[in-house]
């Protein structure tokens, strides 16, 4: 299971997308605190409560939960509603309006959670956009409900990406392809440069490297490596490059070492017969007596 978190300020557009029966074959699997008679009624319910806290700029909450195609037969509407509620509870999205819409237009089951970031008491919901916390929760729920773990970004359908996600996945693909031929950070910089991607280090006040960022030079969009994927964090890449150095050094050492070829009889070498004779002489000196076989 994978979660994607978004915020905004347009309930109307999101509700029309999430509850598109014609294109998305949408169905409501769970809701709380809103009128479901029409998209306009859902939107009006959300807007009325959002006005209670005018200081919240992005009062629209939107989270998509996607499941593996392998779980299509397992995750019926009731189970998806249960998982969505539990995900929201653990994320701290409680005491507020929400609607969970299931879309059935793709091979993988998925739902869209639309919720009000202004809760029933007129307070702003905090911490609901914590991506690291969300990743930990989805991983835990996947395990607890016996679902299939996703296989990472390699299987994401690139043609369906939009906006900055297109850039993020391009960087992900290019960096991973480049790392196959690199054994140092300098190598990686040189290989990425012709591809229009620059690399910079994030340092603390003492000058120690604490992270790495990648920038798409054409769009001037920058992502922290760890935000693209855990495998592209500074520590992960650094470990990969160190391993490449160790393997490369070991291979070079093997090439430089002279090959030892067993000599044939003569020429100073000893034959197997000579070895046997030496063993027999040594046994005699030590008064060696072979053990009798047990019958």
What count of other Cβ atoms lies within 10 Å of the Cβ of residue 81? 17
133-139 contact pairs (CB < 8 A, 24+): 133/91, 134/3, 134/5, 134/63, 134/91, 135/3, 137/3, 137/87, 137/90, 137/91, 138/1, 138/2, 138/3, 138/65, 138/87
What are the residue ranges of helices labelled H in the chain? 11-18, 21-24, 39-50, 77-91, 131-144, 164-179, 185-192, 225-228, 234-256, 272-285
Position 250 scores a pLDDT of 58
Can you name the residues that pair with 7 across neighbouring β-strands?
A: 61
Q: What is the mean pLDDT of residues 103-114?
A: 94
Domain 2-150 has CATH 3.30.930.30: yes
Tell me the pTM. 0.60
Position 18 scores a pLDDT of 97
For strand 209-216 and strand 221-224, is the pairing parallel, antiparallel, or unpaired? antiparallel
pLDDT range class, residue 162, cuts 50, 70, 90: confident
Nearest to 210 by CA among 219, 200, 220: 200
Residue-wise pLDDT tens digits, 117-152: 999 999 999 999 998 899 899 999 999 999 987 655
Residue-wise pLDDT tens digits, 36-88: 999 999 999 999 999 999 889 999 999 999 999 889 999 999 999 999 999 99
- Alpha-carbon torsion (51, 53, 55, 61), positive or negative: negative
Please state, in angstroms and rounded to a whole number, the distance separating the CA atoms of residues 284 and 290: 11
How many residues make up the chain in this entry?
A: 295
In which residue ranges of the chain is CATH 3.30.930.30 found? Answer: 2-150
């Amino acid at each position: 299971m994978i979660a994607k978190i978004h915020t905004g300020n347009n309930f109307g557009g999101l509700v029309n997308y999430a509850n598109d029966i014609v294109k998305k074959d949408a169905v409501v699997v769970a809701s709380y605190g809103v009128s479901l008679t029409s998209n306009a009624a859902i939107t009006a319910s959300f807007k009325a409560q959002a006005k209670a806290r005018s200081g919240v700029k992005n009062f629209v909450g939107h989270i998509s939960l996607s499941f593996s195609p392998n779980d299509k037969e397992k995750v019926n509407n009731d189970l998806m509603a249960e998982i969505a509620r539990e995900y929201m509870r653990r994320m701290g999205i409680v005491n507020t309006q929400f609607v969970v819409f299931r879309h059935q237009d793709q091979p993988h089951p998925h739902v869209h959670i639309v919720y009000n970031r202004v809760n029933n008491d007129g307070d702003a919901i905090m911490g609901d956009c914590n991506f690291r916390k969300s990743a930990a929760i989805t991983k835990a729920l996947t395990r607890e409900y016996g679902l299939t773990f996703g296989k990472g970004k390699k299987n994401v359908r690139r043609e369906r990406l939009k906006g900055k996600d297109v850039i993020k996945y391009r960087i992900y693909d290019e960096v991973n392809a480049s790392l196959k031929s690199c054994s140092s950070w300098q190598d990686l910089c040189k290989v990425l440069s012709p591809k229009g991607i620059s690399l910079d280090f994030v340092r603390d006040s003492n000058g120690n490297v604490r992270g790495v960022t990648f920038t798409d030079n054409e769009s001037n969009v920058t992502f922290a490596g760890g935000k693209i994927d855990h495998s592209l964090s500074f520590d992960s890449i650094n470990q990969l490059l160190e391993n490449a150095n160790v393997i490369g050094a070991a291979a070079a050492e093997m090439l430089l070492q002279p090959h030892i070829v067993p000599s044939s009889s003569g020429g100073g070498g000893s034959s197997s017969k000579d070895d046997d004779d030496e063993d027999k002489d040594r046994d005699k000196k030590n008064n060696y007596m072979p053990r009798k076989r047990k019958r």
